[in-house]
C-alpha cells in the first residue's frame, strides 16, 4: 500500500512538472483568420515583413489587394502594435515576422501616407509609397509561419505561447539563448 501511495505521488509530481506546461504550450491563445474580414466599417491593412527590404510590405486594405507597382511600405505605430524588438514595443515573437516566409497580419486602424518615391527604390522597384498605420488591434491571416523549431510540431492555425514575445524573453533569460531578437 505504501508503494502505491509513493507511485501516485510521483505520478502527480511528474504530471505537474511536465503535463501542465505541455498542455499550456498546445492550447490556442489566438486563432488565425482564414479569409479577409467582411465588416466594411473598420479599416484594416494586410502586411507582411520583407526580409530583403527590412520593412513591412502593405499588400492591401479593406478594398482588396494592391497591384505590385508602386510598392507600398508600412510603418506600424500605436499602443496595440504587435511588432517590436522590446517587450514594451511588441506582442508577438520576432520569429513570426522576421524571416523570408513570414506570417501575414491584418492590422486594424488608421493610415496616413508619409512619402512617395517615383525613382527607383532599392534598385529594383519603380516607386514606393510609405504608409504609417496606427494600430488599434490585429489578427493573423492564414497560417502561422515561424523559425521556432519547437513551434513546427503544433498546428499552424492559431498562436500559442511560443508565438509571444514574453516567451522569447523567458527563454533568453533562463537558457542564455541570445539570438539578438529580443531586448529586455
Tell me the residue range of the domain where 74 lies.
29-175
Pairing of strands 158-159, 30-31: antiparallel
**Is 184 within a domain?**
no
Q: Is the peptide bond before 70 cis (omega within 30 degrees of 0)?
A: yes
**Is 94 within a domain?**
yes
Among 133, 63, 79, residue whose Cα is nearest residue 105: 133
Instruction: Indicate if the alpha-carbon torsion angle 34, 45, 47, 105 is positive or negative.
Output: negative
**Is 83 within a domain?**
yes
**Is 183 within a domain?**
no
**Is 18 within a domain?**
no
H helices of 63-117, where? 94-97
**Is 182 within a domain?**
no
159 in Cβ contact with 29 (< 8 Å): yes
Pairing of strands 71-77, 30-31: unpaired
**Is 15 within a domain?**
no
Name 66's Cβ contacts closer than 8 Å, sequence gap at least 6.
58, 59, 60, 72
Q: How far is residue 112's CA from residue 106's CA, in Å, rounded to a whole number? A: 16
pLDDT tens per residue across all 184 residues of the chain: 688 888 899 888 888 888 777 777 788 888 999 888 887 788 899 888 876 667 788 888 888 777 766 678 888 887 777 776 555 556 777 677 666 567 888 989 888 887 766 555 455 555 678 888 888 888 888 888 877 777 777 788 888 877 777 777 777 777 776 655 555 4
**Is 41 within a domain?**
yes
The total domain count for the chain is: 1
115 in Cβ contact with 73 (< 8 Å): no
Q: How far is residue 28's CA from residue 97's CA, in Å, rounded to a whole number? A: 19
- Please give the DSSP secondary-structure letter assigned to residue 78: S
Amino acid at each position: 500500500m505504501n508503494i502505491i501511495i509513493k507511485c501516485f505521488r510521483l505520478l502527480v509530481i511528474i504530471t505537474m512538472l511536465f503535463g501542465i506546461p505541455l498542455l499550456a504550450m498546445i492550447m490556442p491563445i489566438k486563432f488565425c483568420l482564414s479569409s479577409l474580414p467582411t465588416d466594411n466599417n473598420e479599416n484594416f491593412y494586410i502586411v507582411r515583413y520583407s526580409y530583403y527590404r527590412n520593412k513591412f510590405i502593405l499588400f492591401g486594405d479593406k478594398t482588396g489587394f494592391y497591384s505590385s507597382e508602386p510598392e507600398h511600405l508600412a510603418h506600424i505605430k500605436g499602443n496595440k502594435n504587435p511588432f517590436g524588438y522590446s517587450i514594451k514595443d511588441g506582442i508577438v515573437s520576432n520569429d513570426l515576422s522576421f524571416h523570408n516566409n513570414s506570417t501575414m497580419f491584418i492590422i486594424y486602424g488608421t493610415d496616413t501616407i508619409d512619402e512617395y518615391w517615383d525613382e527607383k527604390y532599392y534598385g529594383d522597384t519603380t516607386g514606393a509609397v510609405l504608409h504609417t498605420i496606427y494600430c488599434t488591434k490585429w489578427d493573423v491571416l492564414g497560417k502561422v509561419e515561424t523559425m521556432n523549431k519547437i513551434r513546427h510540431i503544433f498546428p499552424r492555425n492559431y498562436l500559442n505561447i511560443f508565438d509571444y514575445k514574453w516567451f522569447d524573453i523567458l527563454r533568453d533569460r533562463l537558457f542564455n539563448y541570445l539570438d539578438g531578437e529580443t531586448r529586455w
